C-alpha cells in the first residue's frame, strides 16, 4: 500500500470567496469553502487547474519582432530571457522614455481587478512604483460605475451610494412592502466582491425579504435577473430605456398629485424645472405613460400601476450598475433618485433608493463603516490621468482634446504602457480598435500569471505569482470578514511577486528604499492589519493581535448596533447635514451641469436616445440589442481556460442567448454556432434559446479570451463580445464605458470551425538557460 500523500491546508481568499487550500506534494489540489459561507461560489473549483495550468508564464519573455517594430497581433512568438536581463530591459526602457519624453509618456493606470490580497494588489503596486519613480499617466474612475461616480457628486455631493453603501437589509425587510429592481437581482453577480467575500449571504437576505412579504419587481430585458424564489413580477423592457419608464412613472405621480411636495421643497433643488420637462413645457412632449410605452415597450397601463403601487406602499428601489454602463448612462441613475425623491421616502427606514444590489456582494449587508484593508498609492507627481475608458482614444490621438466633467483636457503622447493586474483585451470596448491603438506605444510591459490576451500584446512579459504563492491580507469594506492569506505553494516556474519585481526595478532605478520602506512581505501584512485594527479601535472595538489573526486566519467585525439608513441624517436635519452639492440639497436640476452646456448631458434627468438601441436607424441593419453582462462561471476573463468556465462553452465558443422568435427568424437552433457581427467586428458564439428574454435582445457574457482570427478580418473566433461593443464615452460629462449600447446581427456560421488558439501558450523560444 502506498501511503497517502502528506496533505497540508492553508487559509486563503479570492474575489469569489474564502477557502482552505489543500496542498499535496507542493501542488494545490483542492479548495474547501470557508465554513461560514452559506453559498460558496462554484468558481472556486477552477483554481487548482489554473494555478498549475500550462498557460502559466514561467519565465520572463520578450516578444519577437518588438525591436523591429512588428505589429502586436496577439499571436506573436516570444523569446524567454533571464530575470536579470528582463529587469535591465524594463529599467532601461523606463529610463529612456522618461529622459526623452517625461513622465506623461508613461501610461500606468493599469486598470483591473488584480488579487483580493491587498499587500500584493498589483494595480496599486504599479501605480506606487511609477509615482515614486517620477510620475505617470493614471486612469480615474472605473468600468464598473464610471458614469455614476462622476455624476452622483453633482446630485448628492458624493458617489458613496453607488459603491455599495446602501440601507441595510434588515431595515428594508422590516419596512418596505415593494422593492423595484431595475436590472434585477441576479445572484450570479453577488458571487463576487472586490477584495473577497466571507459569507455569500445575498440569497439569505433576499429570502428573508420575500418571507417578510416584500413584493419584488424585476425591470429587465432578462427574466433570469430575478431568482425564482422571489416570485418577482417581470417587466421586460427595451435595453437602455429605463429612464423613459421612470419618466413615465414620474409623470403619473405628478399628474395625479401623488408626489411628496413637502419632501421636494425641503430636501431638493430644481424640481420645478424638471416638472416643466416632464409635462412638456420645455420641449412640447409630455412624458406620459403612453409616450413611454412607445419607447421602452412597457404597456402604459403597467407604468401607471407601478407608479401608483410605489406611491401607495413603502417602496425601496435599486438599479444595477449595468444601467449606467451605456451611452447616456447617467440618465437612469439621475431619474431613479428623482423618482425616489418624488415618492418622499429617501432617508426613511427601508425606503428610498440604493444601487448595485444586483451587481455585487455587499450592498445592504449590515456592516460597520470601517475602511477595508488597503495601502493607497502615493500622489502622482505627473498629475495626469484620463477617464479610465478613454484609453484607445488617448493612444490614437496624442495631443487631441476632449471634454470631461466641465474641463477641456488634452491627451498625452504615450510611448510606454505598463500593466499589472488587468486585462484590457478583455475589459475594453471595440477590441479591434484597441488593438490598433496598441500599435502606438514603443514598449508595452505586462506582469501576468497567465498568457492572457494582454500578455500576448506585450513586448516584455514578467511572470507574476498567484495569491497561493505568497502571504497577504484580504478583505473589503463591503464585507465584515478580514482574511489571512497564507502562502500555500512555492512560486510556479520562475514567477516572482509583483512587489518583489518592483522592488528589484526600483533598486536598479535608485529608489528601492522609497519603494520598500524597508519592509518585507510580512511587515506589509502587519501594516495593513494594523490599519484595520486602528480603525476598529476608534469605534471602541478591540481586534486581536496580528499574531493571533494570522494564526486563526480570519477575524469577523461585530455587526452594527443599529441599521444603517442611507441619508437618514440629512433627512433628520438637512441644515446640519447639508449635502456636498452647491444647494446642499438633492439636485434634481444641477446649475453646475447646466453651465457645462453639454448637449449630451442636460441639467436634469432626460431621455436622450443612445447612439445604438432598438429604436435607432442602425437597428434596421443590426436588429438585435446585445447585452454583455457579467459571466456566471468566472470573474471577467479570470479562469476562462479553467474547467468551470470551459464547461459552459458550446463547441468551445462562448454562449449567446436568443429569444425563441429571434432564433426561429434566423433558422437557428440550440447549439448552433453563429457569427455575431456589426460594423465594428464579429465573433463566433454558440446559441442557447431562452424564452425569458425581451424581444430583439441577445445576451452574451463577457470574458472569453480574445482570439483574433489570423486573417486580420476582425473576427474573434472564441466569443469575446468586446469586438462588438462601441468605444464611446457615456457623455462629455462622465466619459464612462458605453458597453451596453450595442446593436448586432446574428447569422449561422458555415464552414470549418477555426481552432481556438487563446488556450495554447504562444510559441516560446529559449536562448538562455534557466537561472
Ligand atoms: N462588454 C463589456 N465589457 C466590460 C464589462 C461589461 O459589462 N461589458 N464590464 C467591465 C467591468 S465592470 C470591469 S470591472 C472590467 C474588468 O476587467 P479586468 O479587471 O481587467 O478583468 P480581469 O479578467 O479580472 O483581469 C484581471 C487580470 O489580472 C490578472 N491578475 C490577477 N491577480 C494578479 C496578480 O497578483 N498580479 C498580476 N500581475 N496580475 C494579476 C489576472 O490574471 C487577469 O488577467 O471589465 C469591463 N468590461
Ligand atoms: N459572477 C460574476 N459576478 C460579477 C462579476 C463577474 O465577472 N462575474 N463582475 C463584478 C463586477 S467588476 C461588476 S462591476 C459587477 C457589475 O454589475 P452589473 O453591471 O450590474 O452586472 P451585469 O451582469 O452586466 O448586469 C446586471 C443585469 O442588468 C441587466 N441589464 C443590462 N442592461 C439593462 C438595461 O438597459 N435595463 C435594465 N433594466 N436591465 C439591464 C442585464 O440583464 C444584467 O443581467 O458585477 C460583479 N459581479
Ligand atoms: Mo466592474
How many Å apart are CA 676 and CA 758, to the nearest integer? 19
Q: How far from 375 is each of 26, 444, 531, 761, CA to CA, in Å?
A: 31, 26, 9, 34
How many Å apart are CA 698 and CA 529, to the nearest integer? 45
Residue nearest to atom 27 of ligand 1 (CA): 422
Helix, strand and coil in the chain, % to nearest 5: 35, 20, 50
Confidence of residue 5 (pLDDT cuts 50, 70, 90): low
How many Å apart are CA 562 and CA 715, to the nearest integer? 54
Kind of pairing between the strands at 715-716 and 682-689: parallel
**Ligand 2 pocket residue status of 240, Cβ below 6 Å:** yes
pLDDT tens, position by position, 738-760: 999 999 999 999 999 999 999 99
Domains and CATH numbers, the chain: 61-143+372-556 (3.40.50.740), 153-369+566-596 (3.40.228.10), 617-748 (2.40.40.20)
Q: What's residue 371's pLDDT?
A: 72
How many Å apart are CA 246 and CA 343, to the nearest integer? 12
Cell (9 digits) for 687: 446559441
C-alpha angle with apex 456: 673 to 467, nearest 5 degrees?
A: 100
Specify which residues 332 forms β-bridges with: none
**Ligand 1 pocket residue status of 449, Cβ below 6 Å:** yes
Residue 771 clears pLDDT 50, i.e. is over it: no
How many Å apart are CA 462 and CA 452, to the nearest integer? 12
**Ligand 2 pocket residue status of 182, Cβ below 6 Å:** yes
- Name residues with Cβ closer than 5 Å to ligand 3, which is an ion: 144
pLDDT tens, position by position, 574-599: 999 999 999 999 999 999 999 999 99
Q: What's residue 510's pLDDT?
A: 98
Confidence of residue 353 (pLDDT cuts 50, 70, 90): very high
pLDDT tens, position by position, 416-436: 999 999 999 999 999 999 999
Kind of pairing between the strands at 682-689 and 655-658: parallel
Kind of pairing between the strands at 624-627 and 7-14: unpaired
* 466-484 mean pLDDT: 94
* 655-673 mean pLDDT: 98
Q: In degrees rounded to 5, what are phi and psi of residue 619? A: -65, -15
* 345-359 mean pLDDT: 98
Q: Which of 13, 51, 114, 645 to mutate to test the pocket of ligand 1 (most atoms within 8 A of CB)?
A: 114
Secondary structure (3-state) at 662: helix
Residue 763 clears pLDDT 90, i.e. is over it: yes
* 172-200 mean pLDDT: 97
**Ligand 1 pocket residue status of 635, Cβ below 6 Å:** yes
How many Å apart are CA 242 and CA 332, to the nearest integer? 6
Residue 1 clears pLDDT 80, i.e. is over it: no
Burial 128-148 (b: 16+ CB within 10 A, else e): bbbbbbbbbbbbbbbbbbbbb
Q: Is 111 a catalytic residue?
A: yes
How many Å apart are CA 403 and CA 38, to the nearest integer? 47
Q: In degrees rounded to 5, what are phi and psi of residue 46? A: -80, -15
* 704-727 mean pLDDT: 95
Residue 706 clears pLDDT 80, i.e. is over it: yes
The pTM of this model reads 0.97
Q: How far from 4 is each of 7, 8, 24, 125, CA to CA, in Å?
A: 8, 12, 9, 41
Residue 95 clears pLDDT 50, i.e. is over it: yes
Share of the chain above pLDDT 70, in %: 99
pLDDT tens, position by position, 215-273: 999 999 999 999 999 999 999 999 999 999 999 999 999 999 999 999 999 999 999 99
The length of the chain, given as a count of residues: 771
**Ligand 2 pocket residue status of 47, Cβ below 6 Å:** no
How many Å apart are CA 34 and CA 255, to the nearest integer? 53
Which alpha helices (DSSP H) does 687-767 contain, by range? none
How many Å apart are CA 92 and CA 96, to the nearest integer? 6
Residue 726 clears pLDDT 80, i.e. is over it: yes
How many Å apart are CA 120 and CA 168, to the nearest integer? 31
Residue with cell 438633492: 586
Residue 666 clears pLDDT 60, i.e. is over it: yes
Helix or strand holding residue 271 (H, E): helix 271-279
**Ligand 1 pocket residue status of 422, Cβ below 6 Å:** yes
Q: Which ligand is nearest to the CA of 614?
A: 2
Q: Is 169 a catalytic residue?
A: no
How many Å apart are CA 376 and CA 135, to the nearest integer? 15
How many Å apart are CA 529 and CA 521, to the nearest integer? 13
106: closest CA among 460, 464, 470, 384? Answer: 384
- CB atoms inside a 10 Å sphere around CB 261: 11
Secondary structure (3-state) at 192: coil
* 607-635 mean pLDDT: 98
Count of CA atoms in the C-beta half-sphere (13 A) of 467: 32
How many Å apart are CA 645 and CA 716, to the nearest integer? 18
457: closest CA among 445, 469, 468, 467? Answer: 445
Contact 464, 448 (CB under 8 A): yes
CB-based burial label for 576 (10 Å; 0-12, 13-18, 19+): exposed
* 710-719 mean pLDDT: 91
Helix or strand holding residue 353 (H, E): strand 352-355
pLDDT tens, position by position, 440-471: 999 999 999 999 999 999 999 999 999 999 99
Q: In degrees rounded to 5, what are phi and psi of residue 7? A: -115, 135
Q: What's residue 711's pLDDT?
A: 83
pLDDT tens, position by position, 137-146: 999 999 999 9
Q: What's residue 770's pLDDT?
A: 45
Confidence of residue 164 (pLDDT cuts 50, 70, 90): confident
Q: How far is the CA of 423 from the centre of ligand 1 (A)?
A: 5
Secondary structure (3-state) at 268: strand
Q: What's residue 64's pLDDT?
A: 97
Which residue is catalytic, options 16, 111, 267, 705? Answer: 111
Q: In degrees rounded to 5, what are phi and psi of residue 615? A: -95, 0
Residue nearest to atom 43 of ligand 2 (CA): 629
Q: Which ligand is nearest to the CA of 448?
A: 1
574: closest CA among 143, 276, 246, 267? Answer: 267
Which residue is catalytic, options 16, 66, 113, 564? Answer: 113
Q: Which ligand is nearest to the CA of 426?
A: 1
* 58-82 mean pLDDT: 97
Q: What's residue 714's pLDDT?
A: 86
**Ligand 1 pocket residue status of 144, Cβ below 6 Å:** yes
Count of CA atoms in the C-beta half-sphere (13 A) of 460: 24
529: closest CA among 545, 517, 552, 551? Answer: 545
Q: What's residue 769's pLDDT?
A: 47
Q: How far from 194 is each of 112, 117, 396, CA to CA, in Å?
A: 10, 10, 31
Amino acid at each position: 500500500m502506498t501511503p497517502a500523500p502528506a496533505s497540508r491546508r492553508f487559509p486563503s481568499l479570492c474575489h469569489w470567496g474564502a477557502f482552505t487550500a489543500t496542498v499535496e506534494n507542493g501542488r494545490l489540489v483542492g479548495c474547501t469553502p470557508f465554513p461560514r459561507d452559506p453559498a460558496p461560489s462554484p468558481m472556486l473549483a477552477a483554481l487548482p487547474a489554473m494555478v498549475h495550468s500550462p498557460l502559466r508564464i514561467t519565465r520572463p519573455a520578450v516578444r519577437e519582432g518588438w525591436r523591429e517594430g512588428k505589429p502586436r497581433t496577439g499571436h506573436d512568438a516570444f523569446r524567454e530571457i533571464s530575470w536579470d536581463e528582463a529587469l535591465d530591459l524594463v529599467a532601461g526602457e523606463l529610463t529612456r522614455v522618461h529622459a526623452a519624453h517625461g513622465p506623461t509618456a508613461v501610461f500606468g493606470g493599469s486598470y483591473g481587478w488584480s488579487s483580493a490580497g491587498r499587500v500584493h494588489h498589483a494595480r496599486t503596486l504599479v501605480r506606487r512604483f511609477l509615482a515614486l519613480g517620477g510620475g505617470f499617466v493614471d486612469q480615474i474612475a472605473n468600468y464598473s460605475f464610471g458614469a455614476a461616480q462622476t455624476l452622483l457628486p453633482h446630485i448628492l455631493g458624493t458617489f458613496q451610494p453607488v459603491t455599495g453603501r446602501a440601507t441595510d437589509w434588515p431595515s428594508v425587510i422590516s419596512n418596505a412592502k415593494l422593492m423595484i429592481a431595475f436590472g434585477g437581482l441576479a445572484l450570479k453577480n453577488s458571487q463576487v466582491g472586490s477584495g473577497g467575500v466571507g459569507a455569500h449571504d445575498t440569497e439569505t437576505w433576499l429570502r428573508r425579504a420575500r418571507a417578510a412579504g416584500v413584493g419584488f419587481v424585476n425591470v429587465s430585458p432578462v427574466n433570469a435577473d430575478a431568482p425564482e424564489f422571489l416570485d418577482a413580477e417581470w417587466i421586460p423592457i427595451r435595453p437602455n430605456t429605463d429612464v423613459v419608464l421612470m419618466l413615465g412613472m414620474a409623470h403619473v405621480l405628478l399628474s395625479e398629485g401623488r408626489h411628496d411636495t413637502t419632501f421636494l421643497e425641503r430636501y431638493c433643488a430644481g424640481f420645478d424645472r424638471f416638472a416643466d420637462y416632464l409635462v412638456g413645457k420645455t420641449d412640447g412632449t409630455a412624458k406620459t405613460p403612453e409616450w413611454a410605452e412607445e419607447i421602452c415597450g412597457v404597456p402604459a397601463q403597467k407604468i401607471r400601476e407601478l407608479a401608483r403601487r410605489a406611491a401607495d406602499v413603502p417602496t425601496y428601489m435599486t438599479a444595477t450598475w449595468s444601467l449606467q454602463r451605456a451611452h447616456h448612462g447617467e440618465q437612469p441613475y439621475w431619474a431613479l433618485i428623482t423618482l425616489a425623491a418624488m415618492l418622499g421616502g429617501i432617508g426613511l427606514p427601508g425606503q428610498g433608493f440604493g444601487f448595485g444590489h444586483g451587481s455585487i456582494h455587499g450592498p445592504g449587508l449590515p456592516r460597520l463603516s470601517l475602511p477595508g484593508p488597503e495601502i493607497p498609492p502615493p500622489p502622482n507627481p505627473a498629475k495626469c490621468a484620463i477617464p479610465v475608458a478613454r484609453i484607445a482614444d488617448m493612444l490614437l490621438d496624442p495631443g487631441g482634446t476632449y471634454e470631461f466633467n466641465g474641463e477641456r483636457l488634452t491627451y498625452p503622447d504615450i510611448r510606454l504602457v505598463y500593466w499589472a493586474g488587468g486585462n484590457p483585451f478583455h475589459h475594453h470596448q471595440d477590441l479591434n480598435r484597441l488593438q490598433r491603438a496598441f500599435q502606438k506605444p514603443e514598449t508595452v510591459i505586462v506582469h501576468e500569471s497567465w498568457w492572457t490576451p494582454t500578455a500576448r500584446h506585450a513586448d516584455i512579459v514578467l511572470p507574476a505569482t498567484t495569491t497561493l504563492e505568497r502571504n497577504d491580507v484580504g478583505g473589503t469594506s463591503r464585507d465584515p470578514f478580514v482574511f489571512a492569506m497564507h502562502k500555500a505553494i512555492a512560486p510556479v516556474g520562475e514567477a516572482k511577486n509583483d512587489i518583489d519585481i518592483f522592488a528589484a526595478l526600483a533598486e536598479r532605478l535608485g529608489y528601492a528604499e522609497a519603494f520598500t520602506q524597508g519592509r518585507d512581505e510580512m511587515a506589509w501584512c502587519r501594516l495593513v492589519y494594523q490599519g484595520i485594527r486602528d480603525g476598529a479601535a476608534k469605534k471602541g472595538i478591540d481586534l486581536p493581535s496580528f499574531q493571533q489573526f494570522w494564526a486563526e486566519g480570519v477575524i469577523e467585525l461585530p455587526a452594527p448596533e443599529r441599521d444603517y439608513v442611507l441619508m437618514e441624517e440629512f433627512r433628520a436635519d438637512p441644515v446640519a447635514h447639508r449635502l456636498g452639492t452647491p444647494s446642499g440639497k438633492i439636485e434634481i436640476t444641477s446649475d453646475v451641469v447646466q453651465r457645462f452646456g453639454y448637449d449630451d448631458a442636460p441639467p436634469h434627468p432626460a431621455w436622450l436616445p443612445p447612439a445604438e438601441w432598438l429604436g435607432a436607424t442602425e437597428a434596421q441593419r443590426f436588429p438585435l440589442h446585445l447585452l454583455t453582462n457579467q459571466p456566471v462561471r468566472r470573474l471577467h476573463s479570470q479562469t476562462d481556460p479553467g474547467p468551470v468556465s470551459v464547461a459552459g462553452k458550446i463547441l468551445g465558443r462562448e454562449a449567446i442567448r436568443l429569444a425563441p422568435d429571434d432564433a426561429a427568424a434566423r433558422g437557428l437552433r440550440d447549439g448552433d454556432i453563429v457569427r455575431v457581427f456589426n460594423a465594428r467586428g464579429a465573433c463566433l458564439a454558440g446559441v442557447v434559446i431562452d424564452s425569458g428574454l425581451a424581444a430583439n435582445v441577445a445576451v452574451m457574457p463577457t470574458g472569453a479570451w480574445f482570439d483574433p482570427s489570423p486573417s486580420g478580418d476582425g473576427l474573434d473566433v472564441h466569443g469575446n463580445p468586446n469586438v462588438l461593443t462601441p468605444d464611446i464615452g457615456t457623455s462629455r460629462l462622465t466619459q464612462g464605458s458605453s458597453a451596453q449600447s450595442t446593436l448586432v446581427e446574428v447569422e449561422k456560421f458555415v464552414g470549418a470551425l477555426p481552432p481556438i488558439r487563446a488556450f495554447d501558450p504562444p510559441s516560446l523560444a529559449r536562448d538562455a538557460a534557466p537561472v
